[in-house]
Amino acid sequence: MSEAMNSQDPGNPAASGSPSGSEDQGYPINSMAPSQYDLVEAEPPGLVTFAAVMMFVLGAFQIVWAIVEFVNAAWLSSVTYGNFNGHLWLWGILDAIIGVAAFYAGYDILRGGTFGRIFGVGVACISAIRWFFYLPASPWIGVVMIAVDIIIIYALVAHGEFFNTSSAR
């Protein structure tokens, strides 16, 4: 530091760069150094929050659909397509597992966890593959759910930098 910058006390290099009078107020000299308490919480991007909310919606829809399959709904079992073969309770168990996993992934995504991001992408991929089996039976529901899964996957993959910085906290 030059003497022009520290005109108050050129002989004290420790005082250079510190605000005038900071030592008089009892602040340590290195009070400008970052500490663990100075970390600012990073707010998640809007698309990440949207993905978390959509994971909750996906989980709720999967649970409702599992209940429909456990009850063995007449309109669904009357479809002549061969995927179901009267074993709707198996699909119900699969949908219940996907629903519970989607709820956990949504919670962990909102929390900012990297595991939630990876787990959420996996749950959305499994859900999309699962809904391909329902396309012949109910195409509108299948297409909408596959589109929701694709949006979730895009939101979680496109904003990986948020999860990398939040895992460093």
Model confidence at 77: pLDDT above 60: no
Q: Give the N- to C-terminal CA distance of the chain in Å, as an integer.
A: 34
Average pLDDT over residues 53-77: 83
Range of the domain at 81: 51-167
Give me the pLDDT at residue 138, please: 81
**Does the residue 63 lie in any domain?**
yes
**Does the residue 128 lie in any domain?**
yes
Q: Do 128 and 149 contact (CB within 8 A), yes or no?
A: yes
Average pLDDT over residues 139-167: 82
Q: Considering the chain, what is the average pLDDT of its residues? A: 75
Average pLDDT over residues 7-31: 53
Phi, psi of 168 (to 5 degrees): -80, -15
DSSP 8-state class, residue 169: -
Give me the pLDDT at residue 20, please: 53
The better pLDDT of the pair 4, 48 is held by 48
**Does the residue 161 lie in any domain?**
yes
**Does the residue 58 lie in any domain?**
yes
Split into its structural domains, the chain has a count of 1
**Does the residue 70 lie in any domain?**
yes
3-state secondary structure of 4: coil
- State percent of the chain over pLDDT 90: 30
Give me the pLDDT at residue 149, please: 93
Average pLDDT over residues 64-77: 74
**Does the residue 23 lie in any domain?**
no
**Does the residue 19 lie in any domain?**
no
- Render pLDDT for 97-147 as a digit per residue (tens, 0 to 9): 999 999 999 999 888 888 888 999 999 999 999 999 888 878 898 999 999
**Does the residue 87 lie in any domain?**
yes
Query: How far apart are the C-alpha atoms of 130 and 141, rounded to whole Å?
Result: 12
Query: How far apart are the C-alpha atoms of 62 and 106, rounded to whole Å?
Result: 14
Average pLDDT over residues 38-58: 78
- State percent of the chain over pLDDT 70: 60
Average pLDDT over residues 65-90: 67
Average pLDDT over residues 45-64: 90
